[in-house]
Amino acid sequence: MSRLRGPIAFLLVLSACGDGVKGTYSNESVSLDLQGGGKAVWAGQLDMQCTYTATKTEVTLKCGEDGVAVLTRNSDGSLQTPIGVLRKR
């Protein structure tokens, strides 16, 4: 049993890193809802169903077959995108 403690603790820490990013982020023109299970909804001029993965410093958003964006997680919890900063509501 003690041999499993290390890997289990690592997986719990790893999953907690991605969970902290869940929520709705927005600015004056778009909204991004990061949901559980790696699902996301981008709402703006076009509404899109997306998927995402998160690390401590980045969120990689994939919408459609070719649409991939890497968003930076700022120290204040906001996301830096190519079209500006999205703040968590």
pLDDT digits (tens, 9 = 90+) for 68-80: 999 999 999 999 9
3-state DSSP assignment of residue 63: strand
Domain segments of the chain as ranges: 2-88
Cα separation, 15 vs 85, in Å, equals: 25
Which pLDDT belongs to residue 79?
Answer: 98
Whether the predicted pLDDT of 30 surpasses 70? yes
Phi and psi, residue 52, nearest 5°: -150, 160
Which pLDDT belongs to residue 55?
Answer: 97
pTM of the model: 0.76
CA dist 87 to 11, 24, 39, 80, Å? 28, 8, 18, 9
